[in-house]
């Protein structure tokens, strides 16, 4: 992993700043509190997101702002990657928002947890770090904050060992041993349960033998009884066959009797039908007599079609004349009304509207006299027209009366035709009824003869014979039923015994299986206690000894580069640094500030090398970040940092320091300044 650029927006003391990171050694130089550590925290935030205890959202977002972000660009082998995370101030506090990751120009959005999972996969870190609040792998291989560099040295030895177990994945052996003890405990519990389950195994075997003997006795009893049952079944079958033959014969007689019943029913039906036909015939003859009387009535001998046509023509002509006279009346009344209007207008007219001359009284009288003559003449004509109209109305009414008479005549003619058809139909019906009555009489004679013939064939004595046979069959069935009940009782007892034996067999088989499982559990317990647990202890010790040896040698080497020969270090079996000065052992607490820093830095660099050697999957081996690694160093110790940086031999080393002397040991310098609570980066 190689970092190329970091962009901070509203993160702690930064408002908007982009930092470019070249390869080789780069120094972040600035006064204490200028914002150098913020850059390192921002890198860690971009990779892993916030963590409640060590890297909270509240500690990152700049005061007075509602939103902030960090964008980190880095490369991982052939992949160019950009990840961006966001912070947002909400009512309940500051929260981490969803962000995105861009891999080779392919952008993928995701939640904070999804991005962390993706990054862990890319970096080759263990999956279990996804839910951890602290990334020990990143802490001890890439970046350890200044305040944590010395903490591992002053931890309780057990805590230090647990931390190192986790880092080197040696804690899996401890987990295996713990799990094996849990498994052993479970095995012992199951053994007790199984031993309790099979303690009555021998008693069950004895009981099983007894039940099998009882079962054999019952089977013999049932086998001896079955031949008698076969005898009853054979005898019953013979009687049933004889009964079937008799029943077929009796059924034949029953069919003959049924034929008699059917024939008698038909005779009765024919007689009823003849009676109905007689009544219907009488009624039809009376109706024919009445119809013939009606047909004797005579109607006027006229051509009703011609009379109707003449009547309709005359009516049409009279209606036309009536309409013409009516129109004349309306015209005459209109002329009279016009004359009256002229008289009215001329009486009040003083000036002619056409010539504008004065109208004289003489002229008015003249016009009035003319119009009065017109009115008088029109009244005479009107009276004549009204008289003519009344005459025409009388003639129209007379023709309408004649039309009604013609319609009545036509109706009577149609009625006569209908009566004639009725007479013809009823005459045919009378003939049919007379013929049907003759046929029914003939059929009745034949049916009565057939009945007498059937009665001669029926034999009544076989019915009594069947009755006796049925009684014999019933007696045999009763005997057979008693025997079957006794046999069924034995068979039921046999089934109960068989079920008991089967249940005992299942119980025995289950207990035998439990016994086999118990033996396997005993074998597992013996193998875990005798072989597995000691093997895990041996493997853990072997790995731990190997790591301890390399760690101790590397620790001595790094420390030797920083301190004089009078002061030496080594690790005890708990990885606790042991300091020797002038032949005497002393603790880290008794060292000076610079010496403590040297011990912490040597321990830190040793962890980095050993972890990178033992954990092959991690992809951060080319990067290391040192936060104030020279705190409390003397001038002579600072001079040795050049050799240390060269020996690190990483492609990218980022150092945070406020020591100006460090400038000469690196290839690149990034200066950080803070003015009025705002940090700026000066390349």
Q: If you ran DSSP here, which 8-state letter would residue 127 be given?
A: G
DSSP string for 469-536: HHHHHHHHHHHHHHHHHHHHHHHHHHHHHHHHHHHHHHHHHHHHHHHHHHHHHHHHHHHIIIIIHHHH
- 106 occurs within a structural domain: yes
Place of tokens 């309940």: 92
Q: What is the 3-state secondary structure (H, E, C) of 60-98?
A: CECCCCCEEEEEEEEEECCEEEEEEEEEEEECCEEEEEE
Give the pLDDT of residue 100.
94
Please tell me whether residues 145 and 35 are part of one structural domain. yes
Q: Among candidates 4, 5, 8, which has minimal Cα distance to 680? A: 8
205 vs 80, 99, 504, 516, 519, CA distance in Å?
75, 71, 8, 17, 20
Please tell me whether residues 626 and 570 are part of one structural domain. yes
Place of tokens 């209606």: 319
For residues 269-292, give the mean pLDDT: 72
- 643 occurs within a structural domain: yes
Does pLDDT of 423 surpass 50?
yes
For residues 363-376, give the mean pLDDT: 80
CA separation for the pair 185, 375 (Å, rounded): 144
- 433 occurs within a structural domain: no
- 354 occurs within a structural domain: no
Give the pLDDT of residue 130.
47
Total count of domains within the chain: 2
Please tell me whether residues 137 and 193 are part of one structural domain. no
> Do residues 4 and 71 make contact, with C-beta atoms less than 8 angstroms apart?
no
Helix (H, G, I), strand (E, B) or coil at 358: strand
Give the pLDDT of residue 505.
85
**β-pairing verdict for 2-11 and 14-20:** antiparallel
- 143 occurs within a structural domain: yes
Question: What confidence tier does 257 reach under pLDDT thresholds 50, 70, 90?
Answer: low
Please tell me whether residues 158 and 186 are part of one structural domain. no
What CATH number corresponds to the domain at position 599? 3.40.50.300
CA separation for the pair 81, 77 (Å, rounded): 10
- Residues 6 or more apart from 263 whose CB is under 8 A from it? 447, 448, 450, 451
Question: What confidence tier does 2 reach under pLDDT thresholds 50, 70, 90?
Answer: very high
DSSP string for 549-600: HHHHHHHHHHHHHHS-TTEEEEE-TTS-EEEEETTEEE-GGGS-HHHHHHHH
Q: How many other CB atoms are there within 10 angstroms of residue 461's CB atom?
A: 6
Please tell me whether residues 101 and 148 are part of one structural domain. yes
Which of the pair, 565 or 82, is modelled with greater confidence?
82
Please tell me whether residues 573 and 656 are part of one structural domain. yes
Go through 597-610 and write b for each residue having 16 or more CB atoms within 10 A of its CB, e for each that does not.
bbbbbbbbbbbbbb
Q: Residue 553 corresponds to which tokens in the numbers above? A: 């040698």
CA separation for the pair 89, 68 (Å, rounded): 9
Please tell me whether residues 503 and 576 are part of one structural domain. no
**Domain end call among 482, 515, 531:** 531
Domain that holds residue 151: 2-169+563-682
- 152 occurs within a structural domain: yes
Sequence-ordered strand ranges (E) for 584-683? 584-586, 623-627, 652-657, 668-675, 678-682
Please tell me whether residues 495 and 572 are part of one structural domain. no
Question: What confidence tier does 5 reach under pLDDT thresholds 50, 70, 90?
Answer: very high
Query: Which of 244-258, 386-400, 454-468, 528-542 tops mean pLDDT?
Result: 528-542
Q: If you ran DSSP here, which 8-state letter would residue 359 be given?
A: P
- Look at the chain and count its residues: 683
Does pLDDT of 64 surpass 60?
yes
pTM: 0.52
608 φ, ψ to 5°?
Answer: -55, -50
Q: Could you tell me what percent of the chain has a pLDDT over 70?
A: 87
Q: Where are the alpha helices (DSSP H) in 198-303?
A: 201-295
Q: Among candidates 20, 110, 123, which has minimal Cα distance to 73? A: 20
Please tell me whether residues 148 and 22 are part of one structural domain. yes
Which of the pair, 342 or 566, is modelled with greater confidence?
342
Please tell me whether residues 494 and 613 are part of one structural domain. no
- 248 occurs within a structural domain: no
Please tell me whether residues 67 and 126 are part of one structural domain. yes
> Do residues 94 and 62 make contact, with C-beta atoms less than 8 angstroms apart?
no
Report how far apart the first and last C-alpha atoms of the chain are (Å, whole number): 22
List pLDDT tens digits, range 7-63. 999 999 999 999 999 999 999 988 888 888 899 999 999 998 888 777 888 889 999
CA separation for the pair 513, 518 (Å, rounded): 8
- 325 occurs within a structural domain: no
Does pLDDT of 83 surpass 90?
yes
For residues 420-447, give the mean pLDDT: 72
Does pLDDT of 466 surpass 70?
no
Please tell me whether residues 570 and 520 are part of one structural domain. no
């Amino acid at each position: 992993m190689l970092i190329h650029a970091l962009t901070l927006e509203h993160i702690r003391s930064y408002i908007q700043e982009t930092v470019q990171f070249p390869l080789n050694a780069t120094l972040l130089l600035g006064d204490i509190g200028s914002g150098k550590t913020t850059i390192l925290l921002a890198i860690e935030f971009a990779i892993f997101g916030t963590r409640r205890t060590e890297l909270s959202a509240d500690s990152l977002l700049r005061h007075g702002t509602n939103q902030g972000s960090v964008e980190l660009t880095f490369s991982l082998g052939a992949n160019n990657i950009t990840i961006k995370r966001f912070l947002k101030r909400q009512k309940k506090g500051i929260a981490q928002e969803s962000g995105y990751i861009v891999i080779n120009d392919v952008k993928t959005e995701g939640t904070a947890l999804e991005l962390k999972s993706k990054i862990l996969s890319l970096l080759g870190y263990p999956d279990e770090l996804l839910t951890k609040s602290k990334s020990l792998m990143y802490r001890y291989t890439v970046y350890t904050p200044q305040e944590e560099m010395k903490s591992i040295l002053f931890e309780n030895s057990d805590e230090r060992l647990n931390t190192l177990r986790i880092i080197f994945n040696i804690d899996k052996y401890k987990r295996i041993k713990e799990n094996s003890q849990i498994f052993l405990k479970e095995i012992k519990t199951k053994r007790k349960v199984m031993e309790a389950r099979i303690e009555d195994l021998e008693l069950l075997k004895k009981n099983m033998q007894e039940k099998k003997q009882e079962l054999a006795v019952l089977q013999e009893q049932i086998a001896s009884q079955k031949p008698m049952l076969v005898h009853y079944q054979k005898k019953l079958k013979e009687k049933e066959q004889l009964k079937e033959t008799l029943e077929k014969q009796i059924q034949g007689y029953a069919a003959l009797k049924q034929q008699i019943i059917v024939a008698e029913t038909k005779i009765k039906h024919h007689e009823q039908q003849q009676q109905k036909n007689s009544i219907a015939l009488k009624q039809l003859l009376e109706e024919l007599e009445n119809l013939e009387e009606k047909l004797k009535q005579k109607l006027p001998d006229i051509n009703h079609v011609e009379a109707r046509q003449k009547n309709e023509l005359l009516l049409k002509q009279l209606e036309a004349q009536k309409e013409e006279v009516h129109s004349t009346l309306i015209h005459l009344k209109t002329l009279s009304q016009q004359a009256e209007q002229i008289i009215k207008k001329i009486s009040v007219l003083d000036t002619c509207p056409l010539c504008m001359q004065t109208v004289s009284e003489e002229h008015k009288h003249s016009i009035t006299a003319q119009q009065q003559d017109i009115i008088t003449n029109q009244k005479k004509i009107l009276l004549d027209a009204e008289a003519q109209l009344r005459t025409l109305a009388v003639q129209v009414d007379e023709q309408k009366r004649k039309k009604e008479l013609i319609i009545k005549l036509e109706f009577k003619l149609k009625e006569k035709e209908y009566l004639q058809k009725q007479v013809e139909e009823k005459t045919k019906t009378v003939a049919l009824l007379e013929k049907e009555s003759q046929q029914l009489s003939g059929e009745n004679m034949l049916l009565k003869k057939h009945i007498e013939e059937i009665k001669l064939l029926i034999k009544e004595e076989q019915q009594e014979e069947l009755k006796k046979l049925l009684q014999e069959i019933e007696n045999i069935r009763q005997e057979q039923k008693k025997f079957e009940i006794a046999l069924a009782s034995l068979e039921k007892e046999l089934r109960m015994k068989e079920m008991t034996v089967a249940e005992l067999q299942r119980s025995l088989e289950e207990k035998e299986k439990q016994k086999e499982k118990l033996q396997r559990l005993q074998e597992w317990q013996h193998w875990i206690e005798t072989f597995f647990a000691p093997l895990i202890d041996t493997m853990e010790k072997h790995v731990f000894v190997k790591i301890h040896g390399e760690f101790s040698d590397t620790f001595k080497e790094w420390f030797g580069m920083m301190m004089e020969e009078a002061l030496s270090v080594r690790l005890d079996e708990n990885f606790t640094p042991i300091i020797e000065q002038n032949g005497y052992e002393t603790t880290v607490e008794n060292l000076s500030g610079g010496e403590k820093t040297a011990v912490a830095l040597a321990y830190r660099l040793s962890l980095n090398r050993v972890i990178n050697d033992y954990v092959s999957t991690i992809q951060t081996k080319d990067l290391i970040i040192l936060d104030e690694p020279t705190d409390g160093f003397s001038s002579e110790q600072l001079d040795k940092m050049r050799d240390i940086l060269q020996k690190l031999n990483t492609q990218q080393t980022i150092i945070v320091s406020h020591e100006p002397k460090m400038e000469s040991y690196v290839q690149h310098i990034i200066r950080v300044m803070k003015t009025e609570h705002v940090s700026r980066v000066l390349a």
